[in-house]
Amino acid sequence: MPVNGLGYLLDHMNGSDPILVVILTSVVWYALTVPDDFIRQWGDPALYERAEPITSFDDLLRARAARLCRTLQRGDGAGLAATQVGWLRRLFAFRLSRDDAPDVVVNPHVIWRSEQLATFVEGCLSFNTVAVKVRRPFAVRVAGFDVYGNYVEFECEDFAASLMQHEINHLDGILTLHRADRAERHRAITVLLSTGGEDLPRAA
C-alpha cells in the first residue's frame, strides 16, 4: 500500500534527535513543494549518469512526477526524463502533442523493437532544442508502471517510438549525440559550441 513520504519518515525515526527530525522534515517539505524547474543542459554530469529504478510508489513519487510534467509543459517539449532535472531515477514524462496532458512512465524498458529502422530528427530540451538526426527502430513496445505501481504497456511507432526510445536512452545516460553518426555529431556539437542553440527554433 502506498505511503506518504513525510509520514513514513516521521513514523520510522523512533525518537531520533530532534534536530534530525527537523532536517528530514525540511528535506521532504522541499521535495514536495519546490518545483524541479531547471532542465540540465549539455555538459551537465547528470545527463551522463544511469538512473536507478524506482522502488517506492508513494506520495513523494507522485508529487515529483507531477512537477516533472509541469516542467515539461513549461519547456514546451514532448518528453522529459527525470535525469534531465537532476533526479537520477527511472521515469519520464511525455506527451504526443501539445494538446495532450503529460503522462508518466516509471521504470520503463523496451520489450520489443521492430527490425525496420527509420531516421528521426530529434530535438532535446537539454540541447536547448538543437535537433539531431538519429537512426532507430521504427516501432517499439514499451513496458513500465504508472505512478501508482500499476503495470502499463505502450505500442508505439514513428514519432511515438522515437520519443520513447529517446527518453529511455536519457535514463541510461545516453544522448542523441552518442547515437548519431560522426558527421551529424560533429554538426550538432559545432552548433552547440557556437550558439548554445539559442538561435534555433524550439522543437516539438
Residues annotated catalytic, as ranges: 167
Please say whether the beta carbons of 180 and 132 come within 8 A: yes
- Evaluated on CA atoms 46, 52, 57, 58, the torsion sign reads negative
Question: Around Cβ 151, how many Cβ atoms within 10 Å?
Answer: 8
Distance CA 153, CA 145 (A): 8
Q: Rounded distance, CA 75 to CA 118, Å? A: 26
Distance CA 97, CA 64 (A): 22
First to last CA, the chain: 38
Quote the strand ranges of 2-102, DSSP E. Answer: 79-81, 91-94
